Amino acid sequence: MAGFDKVVTSYEDAMAGLEDGMTVLAGGFGLCGIPENLIQEIKRRQTRDLTIVSNNCGVDGFGLGVLLEDKQVRKMISSYVGENALFEKQLLQGELEVELTPQGTLAEKMRAGGAGIPAFFTATGVGTPVGEGKETRVFNGREYLMEEAITGDFAIVKGWKADRYGNVIYRHTAQNFNPLAATAGKITVVEVEEIVDVGELDPAQIHTPGIYVDRIIQGSFEKRIEKRTVRSAD
Protein backbone atom coordinates (compact mmCIF):
# COMPACT_ATOMS: atom_id res chain seq x y z
CA MET A 1 0.00 0.00 0.00
CA ALA A 2 1.47 3.33 -0.97
CA GLY A 3 0.35 6.91 -1.13
CA PHE A 4 -3.38 7.11 -1.56
CA ASP A 5 -3.83 3.51 -2.62
CA LYS A 6 -6.40 2.11 -0.20
CA VAL A 7 -7.14 -1.23 -1.77
CA VAL A 8 -6.94 -4.32 0.42
CA THR A 9 -7.37 -7.79 -1.02
CA SER A 10 -8.72 -9.84 1.87
CA TYR A 11 -11.71 -9.32 4.13
CA GLU A 12 -9.48 -10.20 7.04
CA ASP A 13 -7.29 -7.19 6.24
CA ALA A 14 -10.38 -5.08 5.57
CA MET A 15 -11.59 -5.48 9.15
CA ALA A 16 -8.19 -5.66 10.84
CA GLY A 17 -8.24 -3.89 14.19
CA LEU A 18 -11.87 -4.58 15.04
CA GLU A 19 -12.09 -5.35 18.73
CA ASP A 20 -14.69 -6.38 21.27
CA GLY A 21 -16.79 -3.51 22.57
CA MET A 22 -16.30 -1.26 19.55
CA THR A 23 -18.96 0.84 17.82
CA VAL A 24 -19.58 0.03 14.16
CA LEU A 25 -21.59 2.28 11.83
CA ALA A 26 -23.18 0.38 8.96
CA GLY A 27 -24.65 1.73 5.75
CA GLY A 28 -27.77 0.28 4.17
CA PHE A 29 -31.53 0.61 4.34
CA GLY A 30 -33.35 -2.66 4.87
CA LEU A 31 -31.24 -5.08 2.85
CA CYS A 32 -30.52 -2.47 0.18
CA GLY A 33 -26.92 -1.32 -0.04
CA ILE A 34 -25.66 -3.30 2.95
CA PRO A 35 -22.01 -4.30 3.31
CA GLU A 36 -22.83 -8.02 3.18
CA ASN A 37 -19.30 -9.36 3.15
CA LEU A 38 -17.95 -7.02 5.80
CA ILE A 39 -20.79 -8.13 8.06
CA GLN A 40 -19.88 -11.77 7.35
CA GLU A 41 -16.28 -10.97 8.24
CA ILE A 42 -17.40 -9.57 11.61
CA LYS A 43 -19.27 -12.81 12.17
CA ARG A 44 -16.23 -14.84 11.19
CA ARG A 45 -14.07 -12.89 13.63
CA GLN A 46 -16.62 -13.46 16.42
CA THR A 47 -16.04 -9.93 17.72
CA ARG A 48 -18.40 -9.39 20.63
CA ASP A 49 -20.11 -6.74 22.69
CA LEU A 50 -20.54 -4.53 19.66
CA THR A 51 -22.64 -1.40 19.37
CA ILE A 52 -24.05 -1.29 15.85
CA VAL A 53 -25.45 1.90 14.39
CA SER A 54 -27.63 1.09 11.40
CA ASN A 55 -31.11 2.08 10.30
CA ASN A 56 -32.21 -1.58 10.48
CA CYS A 57 -30.82 -4.86 11.73
CA GLY A 58 -31.18 -7.03 8.64
CA VAL A 59 -33.39 -10.10 8.65
CA ASP A 60 -32.98 -13.53 10.17
CA GLY A 61 -29.98 -15.13 8.51
CA PHE A 62 -28.94 -12.18 6.33
CA GLY A 63 -27.37 -8.78 6.75
CA LEU A 64 -26.77 -7.62 10.32
CA GLY A 65 -29.17 -10.35 11.44
CA VAL A 66 -26.27 -12.85 11.24
CA LEU A 67 -24.44 -11.02 14.04
CA LEU A 68 -27.31 -11.81 16.38
CA GLU A 69 -26.91 -15.56 15.86
CA ASP A 70 -23.88 -15.72 18.15
CA LYS A 71 -24.95 -12.76 20.29
CA GLN A 72 -22.19 -10.48 19.04
CA VAL A 73 -24.29 -7.35 19.35
CA ARG A 74 -24.78 -5.63 22.70
CA LYS A 75 -26.63 -2.59 21.46
CA MET A 76 -28.36 -1.45 18.28
CA ILE A 77 -29.01 2.18 17.42
CA SER A 78 -31.68 2.05 14.72
CA SER A 79 -34.91 3.61 13.55
CA TYR A 80 -36.79 0.42 12.68
CA VAL A 81 -36.06 -3.15 13.71
CA GLY A 82 -39.28 -4.92 12.94
CA GLU A 83 -38.11 -7.45 10.35
CA ASN A 84 -36.16 -9.80 12.54
CA ALA A 85 -37.55 -12.52 14.86
CA LEU A 86 -34.21 -13.26 16.55
CA PHE A 87 -33.82 -9.57 17.30
CA GLU A 88 -37.22 -9.57 18.98
CA LYS A 89 -36.34 -12.61 21.06
CA GLN A 90 -33.01 -11.23 22.29
CA LEU A 91 -34.60 -7.87 23.04
CA LEU A 92 -37.36 -9.45 25.13
CA GLN A 93 -34.81 -11.61 26.97
CA GLY A 94 -32.71 -8.57 27.80
CA GLU A 95 -29.70 -9.84 25.84
CA LEU A 96 -29.80 -6.92 23.49
CA GLU A 97 -30.31 -3.22 24.02
CA VAL A 98 -31.93 -1.01 21.41
CA GLU A 99 -31.88 2.76 21.14
CA LEU A 100 -34.65 3.70 18.74
CA THR A 101 -33.77 6.88 16.91
CA PRO A 102 -35.86 8.69 14.29
CA GLN A 103 -34.54 7.97 10.82
CA GLY A 104 -33.73 11.58 9.97
CA THR A 105 -32.11 12.13 13.35
CA LEU A 106 -30.01 8.99 12.83
CA ALA A 107 -28.86 10.18 9.41
CA GLU A 108 -28.07 13.63 10.77
CA LYS A 109 -26.24 12.20 13.79
CA MET A 110 -23.89 10.38 11.44
CA ARG A 111 -23.53 13.38 9.15
CA ALA A 112 -22.77 15.62 12.13
CA GLY A 113 -20.35 13.07 13.55
CA GLY A 114 -18.41 13.02 10.33
CA ALA A 115 -18.48 16.80 10.02
CA GLY A 116 -17.13 17.53 13.50
CA ILE A 117 -20.44 18.90 14.78
CA PRO A 118 -20.92 17.48 18.29
CA ALA A 119 -24.67 18.09 18.51
CA PHE A 120 -27.57 19.76 16.72
CA PHE A 121 -31.12 20.88 17.42
CA THR A 122 -34.15 19.36 15.73
CA ALA A 123 -37.92 19.52 16.12
CA THR A 124 -38.12 15.78 15.51
CA GLY A 125 -39.13 13.94 18.66
CA VAL A 126 -40.19 16.93 20.77
CA GLY A 127 -42.97 15.83 23.16
CA THR A 128 -42.36 12.14 22.40
CA PRO A 129 -40.46 9.40 24.27
CA VAL A 130 -37.44 10.26 22.10
CA GLY A 131 -37.25 13.68 23.73
CA GLU A 132 -37.30 12.45 27.31
CA GLY A 133 -34.30 13.67 29.28
CA LYS A 134 -32.89 15.68 26.41
CA GLU A 135 -32.01 19.34 26.52
CA THR A 136 -34.45 21.57 24.63
CA ARG A 137 -34.24 25.12 23.39
CA VAL A 138 -36.68 27.48 21.76
CA PHE A 139 -35.70 29.11 18.49
CA ASN A 140 -38.12 31.52 16.80
CA GLY A 141 -40.92 30.38 19.08
CA ARG A 142 -40.55 26.65 18.41
CA GLU A 143 -39.12 24.01 20.71
CA TYR A 144 -36.18 21.88 19.54
CA LEU A 145 -34.31 18.91 21.01
CA MET A 146 -30.57 18.67 21.26
CA GLU A 147 -29.31 15.49 19.63
CA GLU A 148 -25.70 14.42 19.87
CA ALA A 149 -23.60 13.29 16.94
CA ILE A 150 -22.48 9.69 16.46
CA THR A 151 -19.06 8.47 15.41
CA GLY A 152 -17.80 4.92 15.17
CA ASP A 153 -14.57 3.03 15.66
CA PHE A 154 -15.38 1.48 12.30
CA ALA A 155 -17.73 2.37 9.49
CA ILE A 156 -18.68 -0.41 7.09
CA VAL A 157 -19.99 0.80 3.76
CA LYS A 158 -21.26 -0.70 0.51
CA GLY A 159 -20.45 1.22 -2.67
CA TRP A 160 -20.94 0.49 -6.33
CA LYS A 161 -17.64 1.61 -7.82
CA ALA A 162 -14.52 3.02 -6.28
CA ASP A 163 -11.08 3.91 -7.50
CA ARG A 164 -7.93 2.90 -5.64
CA TYR A 165 -7.85 6.30 -3.90
CA GLY A 166 -11.17 5.50 -2.23
CA ASN A 167 -13.42 7.80 -4.22
CA VAL A 168 -16.80 6.06 -4.15
CA ILE A 169 -20.07 6.20 -6.04
CA TYR A 170 -23.25 4.42 -5.03
CA ARG A 171 -25.86 2.83 -7.22
CA HIS A 172 -29.48 4.04 -7.09
CA THR A 173 -31.13 3.94 -3.66
CA ALA A 174 -28.34 1.71 -2.35
CA GLN A 175 -26.80 5.06 -1.43
CA ASN A 176 -29.06 5.67 1.63
CA PHE A 177 -26.97 5.81 4.83
CA ASN A 178 -23.71 4.71 3.20
CA PRO A 179 -22.12 8.11 2.49
CA LEU A 180 -23.06 9.28 6.03
CA ALA A 181 -21.56 6.25 7.73
CA ALA A 182 -18.47 6.67 5.54
CA THR A 183 -17.73 10.10 7.00
CA ALA A 184 -18.11 9.10 10.65
CA GLY A 185 -15.86 6.07 11.12
CA LYS A 186 -12.39 6.33 12.62
CA ILE A 187 -11.62 3.53 10.20
CA THR A 188 -13.93 3.52 7.18
CA VAL A 189 -14.01 0.35 5.11
CA VAL A 190 -15.85 0.38 1.80
CA GLU A 191 -16.65 -2.75 -0.16
CA VAL A 192 -17.61 -2.25 -3.78
CA GLU A 193 -18.70 -4.21 -6.80
CA GLU A 194 -15.92 -2.85 -8.96
CA ILE A 195 -12.60 -1.09 -8.42
CA VAL A 196 -11.76 1.12 -11.38
CA ASP A 197 -8.62 2.96 -12.41
CA VAL A 198 -7.89 6.30 -10.83
CA GLY A 199 -9.25 8.96 -13.14
CA GLU A 200 -12.06 6.83 -14.49
CA LEU A 201 -14.73 8.24 -12.20
CA ASP A 202 -15.96 11.75 -12.99
CA PRO A 203 -14.67 13.93 -10.11
CA ALA A 204 -17.92 15.89 -10.05
CA GLN A 205 -19.98 12.72 -9.61
CA ILE A 206 -18.14 11.29 -6.60
CA HIS A 207 -20.51 10.66 -3.68
CA THR A 208 -17.86 9.87 -1.06
CA PRO A 209 -14.48 11.54 -1.61
CA GLY A 210 -11.48 9.35 -0.78
CA ILE A 211 -10.46 11.47 2.18
CA TYR A 212 -13.11 9.71 4.27
CA VAL A 213 -12.07 6.22 3.21
CA ASP A 214 -9.33 4.09 4.75
CA ARG A 215 -9.76 0.73 3.03
CA ILE A 216 -11.37 -0.40 -0.20
CA ILE A 217 -12.14 -3.97 -1.13
CA GLN A 218 -13.87 -5.52 -4.11
CA GLY A 219 -16.46 -8.16 -3.34
CA SER A 220 -19.34 -10.04 -4.84
CA PHE A 221 -22.82 -9.54 -3.56
CA GLU A 222 -26.02 -11.54 -3.26
CA LYS A 223 -28.18 -8.37 -3.04
CA ARG A 224 -31.13 -10.11 -1.51
CA ILE A 225 -34.50 -8.38 -2.03
CA GLU A 226 -36.56 -7.97 1.12
CA LYS A 227 -39.91 -7.10 -0.47
CA ARG A 228 -40.02 -8.15 -4.05
CA THR A 229 -42.83 -6.12 -5.60
CA VAL A 230 -43.68 -6.10 -9.29
CA ARG A 231 -46.54 -4.56 -11.20
CA SER A 232 -49.12 -6.95 -12.54
CA ALA A 233 -48.49 -7.83 -16.15
CA ASP A 234 -51.08 -6.24 -18.40
Partner 1 sequence: MALTREQMAQRVARELQDGFYVNLGIGIPTLVANFIPEGMEVMLQSENGLLGMGEFPSEETIDADMINAGKQTVTAVKGASIFSSAESFAMIRGGHVDLTVLGAFEVDVNGNIASWMIPNKLIKGMGGAMDLVAGADNIIVTMTHASKSGESKLLSECALPLTGKGCIKKVLTDLAWLEIEDGAFILKERAPGVSIEEIQEKTQGKLIVPDHVPEMVFA
Quick one: which of 36, 108, 163, 191 contacts partner 1 (CB under 8 A)? 108
33: left (phi over 0), alpha (psi -120 to 50) or beta: left
Quick one: which of 105, 151, 167, 188 contacts partner 1 (CB under 8 A)? 105
Binding of partner 1 at residue 178 (CB under 8 A)?
yes
Cβ proximity of 190 and 25 under 8 Å: no
Question: Which secondary-structure segment (H or E) carries 110?
Answer: helix 103-115
Binding of partner 1 at residue 77 (CB under 8 A)?
no
**Burial code of 155-177, b = ≥16 C-beta within 10 A, e = fewer?**
bbbbbbbbbbbbbbbbeeebbbb
Quick one: which of 52, 111, 154, 166 contacts partner 1 (CB under 8 A)? 111
Task: Give the residue with the Cβ less far from partner 1, 9 or 229.
Answer: 229
Task: Give the residue with the Cβ less far from partner 1, 15 or 68.
Answer: 68
Closest approach of partner 1 to the CB of residue 103, in Å: 4
Cβ proximity of 219 and 193 under 8 Å: yes
The stretch among 9-17, 43-51, 95-103, 212-220 that binds partner 1 (CB under 8 A) is 95-103
Cβ proximity of 99 and 77 under 8 Å: yes
Binding of partner 1 at residue 123 (CB under 8 A)?
yes
Q: Which of 177, 224, 225 is nearest to 78 (CA)?
A: 177
The stretch among 18-26, 45-53, 60-68, 224-232 that binds partner 1 (CB under 8 A) is 224-232
Contacts of 42 (CB under 8 A, 6+ apart): 15, 18, 24, 50, 67, 72, 156
Pick out residues in 26-55 that bind partner 1 (CB under 8 A).
Answer: 29-33, 55
Binding of partner 1 at residue 125 (CB under 8 A)?
yes
Binding of partner 1 at residue 107 (CB under 8 A)?
yes
Where does this chain bind partner 1 (CB under 8 A)?
29-33, 55, 78-82, 88, 100, 102-108, 110-111, 122-130, 160, 171-180, 207, 223-231, 233
